[in-house]
Amino acid sequence: MFGNVVNVHDFRSALERFAKVPGVLKHLLLPKQEIVRRNWNEYEIEPLNRMLEARFNRLISGDPDVARYEYACRKYLGDRRVRAVSLGCGSGEHEILWARQGAFDRLDACDLSPGRIETARQNARDAGLAEILEFACADILNLPYAMNAYDVVILESSLHHFSPLSRVMESIRNLLKPGGLIFMTDFVGPTKFQWLPRQIQVVNALMDLLPDRFLIEKDGRRIEKLFKPSYLRMHLVDPSEAIESGNILPMLRKHFQELELKNAGGAILLHLFPRLSHNFPESDPVAQAWLRHLIEVEDLLLHETDEIGWWYAFGVYRKPG
């Protein structure tokens, strides 16, 4: 409808939002960066359950017990100790896992949200890594870091929030030394979550197959069927969400040498998880059997990216020189 600026599927949630008209209108009038900052001040990372985490590891490293942090450091850094920077670090959970690999003399990290940065600093102190990790509040287009100063740039689920990508790529190139590396784990699916028809069909068919008890979210509501969200909804929720995600891989290849790219899955499963993970405890054999079947479906379709799209990708890139 109207080029998906407004979507018929959004009417119910729109009614809920506009029940509080003054708040919604005020939200719409906020500067884009302020909407993003407020959203990230409230965001909480939800962990995957162990079966899905093991699969995620396997798709990247080939070993369900070896996460990307260990894999990338071992394969590309070896015994070297280097300097890195992480862009869009949130509360620093991933940066702590990177720092624990013992590959970094220093790991700088930045995020737009002051609240997240304060939490990240405390997390680093609690982990005993405050001497390695240094957090700063900064915008991706106005970074406080020196040029040609870093051996590695880390991008953990942040690049799909950055725009314009052409300028972002220039910023990353400027940070890296010649021959420096990018370790990227990110959403590279459809821009603004404009899901593909086959993707929608498969996800909704799986919802129809699953018993109702597996489809209840933590707040007690039944999970919605998948649909393309309108651009209005995307702006209301987070205007930075998937803002140029469909162009991430082409832009990385344009500006850097691609050393490795892995499809880490999620184009089907991550519409359901981790939102429904609480319904699939390891103590429930029926739930675990259903989870295995769901994984099998995505495994069968994993490389049909023209039909179901991408979700997470793990990539390693090198700055020429």
**Is the pLDDT score of 28 beyond 60?**
no
> Full-prediction pTM beyond 0.85?
yes
Distance from chain centroid for Cα 199: 19
Residues of the chain with pLDDT > 90, as a percent, come to: 82
CA torsion, ordered 163, 165, 171, 177, to nearest 10 deg: 140
CA-based end-to-end distance of the chain? 48
Q: What is the pLDDT of residues 237-253, one digit of tens each?
A: 889 999 999 999 999 99
pLDDT band at 20 (very low <50, low <70, confident <90, very high): very low
Task: Give the pLDDT score at 297.
Answer: 98
Residues of the chain with pLDDT > 70, as a percent, come to: 86
pLDDT band at 150 (very low <50, low <70, confident <90, very high): very high
**Is the pLDDT score of 14 beyond 80?**
no
pLDDT band at 231 (very low <50, low <70, confident <90, very high): confident
Phi, psi of 130 (to 5 degrees): -65, -25
Q: What is the pLDDT of residues 76-125, one digit of tens each?
A: 999 999 999 999 999 999 999 999 999 999 999 999 999 999 999 999 99
How many whole angstroms separate alpha carbon 94 and alpha carbon 92?
A: 6
CB count in 10 Å sphere of residue 78: 8
Structure tokens at 274: 């981790």
E-assigned strands of the chain? 82-87, 104-111, 133-137, 150-156, 176-187, 257-263, 312-318
How many whole angstroms separate alpha carbon 178 and alpha carbon 292?
A: 44
Domains of the chain: residue spans and CATH: 2-318 (3.40.50.150)
Task: Give the pLDDT score at 234.
Answer: 85
**Is the pLDDT score of 15 beyond 90?**
no
Q: Which residue has the higher pLDDT, 47 or 90?
A: 90
Q: What is the pLDDT of residues 186-209, one digit of tens each?
A: 999 999 999 999 999 999 999 999
Average pLDDT over residues 146-165: 97
Q: Which of 2-11, 38-47, 302-311 has the highest mean pLDDT?
A: 302-311
- Cross-strand bridge partners of residue 107: 84, 133
Average pLDDT over residues 292-309: 96
**Is the pLDDT score of 10 beyond 90?**
no
Q: Which CA distances in Å does 23 have to 26, 27, 159?
A: 5, 6, 29
